A = this chain, B = another copy of it.
């Protein structure tokens, strides 16, 4: 955890090396890139013991520093998890390489031919926290799409990430691609992260992954463009006409199937005319799975054992078995509540009313809007992307689950035969 004085020239040397390497990666064939990824999978398996040993040092430091059990769990790599990482790399090998795809193309009236082709972004800066699996995950997705990557994985996983970095660089080297396509600024602490966020000459995009606080900090400090993969204060609205069986199943699945992820349900809104019919079975099912209900006055009139909900609860991504529940007077009131508290990740309605379904889908502003489906479906794997870089909650470049194409840009190729503009 030593944090030396920041030597900007050393960081810039690394970033420049990443930029250089990115040009080679951009020209690499899919076969070359896949060979490097296969090496990553092989080396992860071969060096499993070394990785777990380094991880033990991080875990020990984490325990000493008093990290919570959730964080320690995310930090942990054991034999099974390293093997899973290796398997995940092989899954990325199986994905379609987007580089070189023609997005659009035509001949202009004068005979000039224009084609819009997918090209790598260049250098991706990945900023994340204490999850060493993300090191492999993001680096492998970046390399498959022809990008170089600069990693900032935080001090809590420093020892583990150092070994994983070596795995990635050795794999590139073994496959005849430049090791410099994977870099770290972890040894420069926060100052290094800050420098990475400002390095517009070298870094094409920043992808922060982690807590809302981390993402906000990156957005605030960055001069390099950011793809926000944001938090999810996810709502479900039970309309007057909602089927009881669907309401019970959908709320239960969205809340409990995996409560610690961004597409898990946080707030349930119920139409006043359906509250007496739907709340008792819906809340009973949740409580049977250990969910703590935080309800407004009208909810507690029906379900007195619920905790009172606070203003802060409405704005909170619990990521735990807690749910905020409110009764609203109309679809418009439900949408107004969502507008106020939504993080624009995933919003859903349960209804049998076609007009209300269409209004909700059209008028609610979020990366994903759903009718009669669990919010847990907002996911790259579920959407059929094969792998997921994250879920973008911004509107530029990418919105919703991001796959490999979202790690590319395009360029226009223009072919003439001495054509001039008249």
Interface positions of A (Cβ within 8 A of B): 23, 26-27, 106, 108, 112, 114, 116, 119, 121-122, 200, 204-205, 219-220, 223, 225-227, 243, 245-246, 249-250, 252-254, 257, 348, 361-363, 365-374, 376-378, 382-384, 394-397, 399-401, 409-421
Contacts and interface: CB of A to CB of B under 8 A. Distances in A.
B227 A371 contact: no
Copies in the complex: 2
A9 to B, nearest CB: 19
B122 A365 contact: yes
A420 B363 contact: no
B27 A377 contact: no
Contact of A363 (B23, B378, B400): B23
B382 A108 contact: yes
A413 to B, nearest CB: 5
Given A23-B363, A108-B383, A367-B411, A223 B223 contact: no
Contacts of A223: 219-220
A374 B419 contact: yes
A418 B373 CA distance: 5
A34 B370 CA distance: 30
Contact of A396 (B246, B376, B397): B397
A31 to B, nearest CB: 17
A122 B374 contact: no
Contacts of A383: 108, 114, 412
A416 B373 CA distance: 5
Contact of A384 (B108, B245, B254): B108
Nearest to A350: B418
The 5 closest A-B pairs by CB, nearest first: A373-B416, A253-B420, A395-B409, A246-B418, A376-B421
Given A121-B395, A399-B409, A371 B414 contact: yes
A410 B400 CA distance: 9
Contacts of A384: 106, 108
Nearest to A257: B421
Contacts of A363: 23, 26-27
A372 B200 CA distance: 31
30 contacts: A23-B363, A23-B365, A112-B373, A114-B383, A122-B395, A220-B223, A225-B225, A225-B394, A225-B395, A225-B396, A250-B420, A368-B412, A368-B413, A370-B413, A370-B415, A371-B415, A372-B415, A373-B416, A373-B418, A373-B419, A374-B420, A374-B421, A376-B420, A377-B419, A383-B412, A396-B397, A396-B409, A400-B410, A400-B411, A400-B412
Contacts of A366: 411
Contacts of A348: 414
Contacts of A368: 411-414
Contacts of A374: 416, 419-421
A349 to B, nearest CB: 11
Given A374-B421, A400-B410, 7 more contacts: A122-B365, A122-B395, A205-B396, A370-B414, A373-B414, A373-B416, A383-B412
